[in-house]
């Protein structure tokens, strides 16, 4: 097969699906610079903006997610839309004639992956979470390969199809070194003599983590000056776009120069590098980045996600003593006391850092891209033999 490899990548709805998809596309282009890549996403969802911004073509279909519970009357409309999506996906596939279709989960991939399999096109699924999403579970029997980020996924997928690759992450996320840490201090204007906590609530923000921060600023002792006049730690706080105005008003009435807050983190690599303790939700992509960065982490999983998959994600690390977990409902009373304990306990932080680093898989995108190319070439050889 020459450089005219053609790939459809389908899925989206959230950054957790889109950014791995873009990483896979980039890795395919590194191996096959002439590859043509077409994305298929859900109309009105963030992939319709993010994918073109990254330089790729995208086609939209009217895909919608299932409502909870699954017997909701609204799912009748969803199923009718699904049939329309299959018709549109078939046309897109016939026109583009891909050598392989990659599904990353999310609304759009349900119809696209299923239709591709029916048309005899090789299919690869990438599952980010430790508890597989309903779309990928549905399409698993039709897939040729299933790339996963966690062990034990045979409870969702046929064992013989599974490849443990990890999740694709940004290339600039690497294990912290003294030089990288110093760059993080400089970029965020931090005091190198203080321990650093990184509180990250995602692009929109996390109400629970923001509330814990506000309560600690007003009534806790974590940020209170010690005998030398310095606080016990400093904080990089990503409050999120949704909460930015509220946090602006709150912080304007407080004197807290040791707390750097922002709605969006431009240099995530340097924020990780500077951090001694990270407090975060437990999205699959974030977990993969934290493994690569080798950070002592406290996860506060979101309770508002399908099948509570963030708790499953976090527990996969907690069981290996690679991270700690606090339930969302218990965060107000337990989160900041745990952070204080970790800041004082160098040995415990070092153990957690070593264990989470051992789980890092830093070339997931490259492995998945190579598998896509193998599948496509396999199909081409089989076609040649049958002629």
Do 297 and 198 belong to one domain? yes
Indicate whether 1 belongs to any domain.
no
Q: For residue 165, what are the domain limits? A: 6-169+362-386
Q: Is 261 left (phi over 0), alpha (psi -120 to 50) or beta?
A: beta
- Cα gap 273→265, rounded to integer Å: 13
How many residues belong to the chain? 387
Indicate whether 304 belongs to any domain.
yes
pLDDT per residue, tens digit, the chain (387 aa), is: 455 899 999 998 777 788 899 999 999 999 999 999 999 999 998 899 999 999 999 999 988 765 666 566 666 666 677 788 999 999 999 999 999 999 998 888 999 999 999 999 999 999 999 999 888 999 999 999 999 999 999 999 999 999 999 999 988 999 999 999 999 999 999 999 999 999 998 778 899 999 999 999 998 888 777 777 788 899 999 999 899 999 999 999 998 889 999 999 999 999 999 999 999 999 999 999 999 999 999 999 999 887 899 999 999 999 999 999 999 999 999 999 999 999 999 999 999 999 999 999 999 999 999 999 999 998 777 765 555
Per DSSP bridges, beta strands 100-103 and 57-61 are unpaired
Indicate whether 249 belongs to any domain.
yes
Q: How many Å separate Cα 275 from the centre of its chain?
A: 19
- Cα gap 170→43, rounded to integer Å: 26
Do 148 and 183 belong to one domain? no
Q: What is the CA radius of gyration of the chain?
A: 22
The continuous run of DSSP H or E covering 9 comes out as strand 6-10
CATH of the domain at 116: 3.40.50.2000
Q: How many Å separate Cα 332 from the centre of its chain?
A: 25
Q: How many Å separate Cα 384 from the centre of its chain?
A: 39
Q: How far is CA 220 from CA 255, 324, 336, in A?
A: 15, 21, 9
- Cα gap 344→364, rounded to integer Å: 34
Do 148 and 202 belong to one domain? no
Do 89 and 223 belong to one domain? no
In DSSP notation, 299-362 reads E---SSSGGGHHHHHHHHHHTTTS-EE--GGGHHHHHHHHHHHHHH-HHHHHHHHHHHHTT--T
Do 222 and 350 belong to one domain? yes
Do 189 and 324 belong to one domain? yes
The continuous run of DSSP H or E covering 19 comes out as helix 15-31
Do 209 and 232 belong to one domain? yes
- Cα gap 79→64, rounded to integer Å: 9
Q: How many Å separate Cα 243 from the centre of its chain?
A: 21
DSSP for residue 231: B
Q: Which of 378, 384, 364 is nearest to 123 (CA)?
A: 378
In DSSP notation, 205-216 reads --HHHHHHHHHH
Does the predicted model carry a pTM greater than 0.85?
A: yes
- Cα gap 44→176, rounded to integer Å: 38
Q: What's the number of domains the chain is made of? A: 2
Do 93 and 210 belong to one domain? no
Do 145 and 207 belong to one domain? no
How many CB atoms neighbour CB 259 within 10 A?
20
Q: How many Å separate Cα 357 from the centre of its chain?
A: 17
Do 242 and 330 belong to one domain? yes
**How much is the pLDDT for 145?**
98
Q: Which of 88, 131, 120, 125 is nearest to 103 (CA)?
A: 125
In DSSP notation, 50-97 reads HHHHTT-EEEEE---PPPSSTT-TTHHHHHHHHHHHHHHHHHHHHHH-
């Amino acid at each position: 097969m020459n450089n005219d490899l053609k790939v459809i990548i389908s899925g989206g709805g959230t950054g957790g699906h889109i950014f791995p998809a873009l990483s896979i596309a980039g890795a395919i282009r590194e191996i096959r610079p002439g590859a043509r890549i077409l994305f298929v996403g859900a109309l009105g969802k963030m992939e319709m903006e993010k994918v073109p911004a990254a330089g790729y073509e995208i086609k939209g279909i009217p895909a919608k997610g299932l409502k909870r519970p699954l017997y909701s009357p609204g799912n009748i409309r969803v199923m009718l839309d699904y049939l329309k999506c299959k018709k549109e996906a078939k046309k897109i596939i016939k026109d583009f004639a891909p050598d392989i279709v990659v599904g990353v989960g999310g609304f759009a991939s349900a119809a696209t992956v299923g239709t591709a399999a029916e048309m005899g096109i090789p299919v690869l699924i990438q599952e980010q979470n430790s508890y597989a999403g309903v779309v990928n579970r549905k399409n698993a029997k039709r897939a040729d390969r299933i790339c996963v980020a966690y062990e034990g996924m045979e409870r969702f997928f046929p064992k013989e199809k599974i490849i443990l690759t990890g999740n694709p992450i940004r290339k600039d996320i690497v294990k912290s070194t003294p030089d990288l840490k110093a760059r993080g201090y400089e970029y965020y204007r931090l005091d190198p003599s203080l321990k650093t906590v990184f509180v990250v609530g995602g692009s929109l923000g996390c109400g629970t983590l923001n509330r814990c921060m506000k309560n600690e600023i007003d009534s806790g002792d974590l940020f209170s000056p010690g005998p030398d006049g310095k606080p016990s730690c400093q904080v990089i706080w990503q409050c999120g776009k949704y909460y930015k105005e509220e946090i602006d008003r709150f912080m304007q009435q407080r004197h807290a120069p040791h707390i750097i807050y922002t709605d969006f983190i431009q240099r995530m690599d340097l924020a990780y590098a500077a951090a001694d303790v990270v407090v975060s939700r437990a999205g699959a992509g974030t977990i993969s980045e934290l493994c690569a960065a080798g950070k002592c982490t406290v996860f506060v999983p979101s309770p508002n996600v399908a099948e509570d998959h963030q708790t499953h994600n976090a527990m996969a690390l907690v069981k290996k003593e690679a991270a700690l977990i606090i339930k969302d409902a218990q965060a107000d009373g337990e989160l900041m006391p745990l952070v204080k304990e970790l800041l004082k306990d160098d040995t415990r932080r070092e153990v957690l850092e070593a264990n989470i680093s051992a789980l890092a898989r830093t070339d997931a995108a490259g492995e998945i891209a190579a598998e896509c190319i193998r599948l496509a070439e396999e199909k081409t050889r089989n076609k040649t033999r049958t002629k």
